[in-house]
Amino acid sequence: MKKITTILILILFCSCNKEKTKEPPKTIPEEASYFKQIKINDVKLGEPTYGDWLFSHKENGQTFEQYYRSKHIVPTKEENIIYIKPIGNFNALQKKQIQLVNEYLEIFFQLKTKTLEPISNDVVPNSARRMSTEGHEQLLAGYLLNDVLKEENPENRIALMGLSELDLYPKPEWNYVFGLASYRDKVGVSSIYRFQDGELTAENFNLCLSRLLKTSSHEIGHMFGLHHCINADCVMNGTNSLSETDRSTIRLCSVCQRKLNSCIQYDNKKRLTDLENFFKRNNLIEEFDSMKKDISVIH
């Protein structure tokens, strides 16, 4: 019987490359007033139920102190740009989503983000593709990761996320996977295929966009050393399915925001305002309300 997976991302987690990291000081900085203020909006996670990520994955979490003392990648003058690499043939609506993902990641991480020229699915040989039991074509995620994306080395790259038009599978006995990542190499690939509920339309555009924004920011967050959050409703929560992803927030909780800000030195209030404006422009109502709520408690 074939093993069917609903895991959001199959992870190849490896220790960070020492040449791209630095030893942080042992003194933990005092928590800034910004993080104390927005903490009031953190929503504590309830007890996981059957089907939830934390029901089947027993995780220890990661405190701010653990993150701060860990070895993780930090932006430098030589490595400070996030790249998106489209793979396949995308229609006008899909291209618009990729453009919005680019804009969003630049705001979320407050780092320059660029979309590279797309490449054809033809780069994948027949030995790394198959027809699914559902009757559509799939690409081997590991081939895209190791034989295509790891060969990409654009200028000042700190992270690279491939976006595949086609569905992905990680190995023959698995039905499908949403994506695959190597955090050591700061490279990942995700598929937009299942985010679209069969076909991307004007009617489901925002739902599919929300899924893509959550997944891309979550995976690149891992590349910067953030572990799964187990304390509050947070975009760094692990998810087992699209329905769990849809229920989760796009917001980083106060602790995870503090982690990211200790790694990337940006203006927290500017980032929050930029996110609010992005969600407003794109009519993402629930996401906009979340940012507005945080802005309301900042003095």
Annotated catalytic sites, by residue? 219
List of residues 6+ apart from 112 with CB closer than 8 A? 80, 81, 82, 106
Q: Closest Cα to residue 260, out of 287, 293, 234? A: 234
Q: Which among 47, 112, 49 is positioned nearest to 81, based on CA atoms? A: 112
**Strand ranges, E, within 96-174:** 113-115, 129-131, 137-140, 157-164, 167-169
In angstroms and rounded to an integer, the radius of gyration of the C-alpha atoms of the chain is 19
DSSP-derived letter for residue 91 is -
Q: Determine what percent of the chain falls in helix, strand and coil, rounding each to the nearest 5.
A: 40, 15, 45
Per DSSP, what are the bridge partners of residue 137? 131
**112 vs 297: CA distance, rounded Å:** 28
Distance between CA 97 and CA 205 in Å, rounded? 8
* CA distances, 246 to each of 36, 105, 228 (Å): 27, 19, 17
d(CA 68, CA 2): 41
Dihedrals phi, psi of 151, to nearest 5 degrees: -80, -15
282: Cα separation from own chain's centroid: 19
Indicate the pairing of strand 167-169 with strand 137-140. Answer: parallel
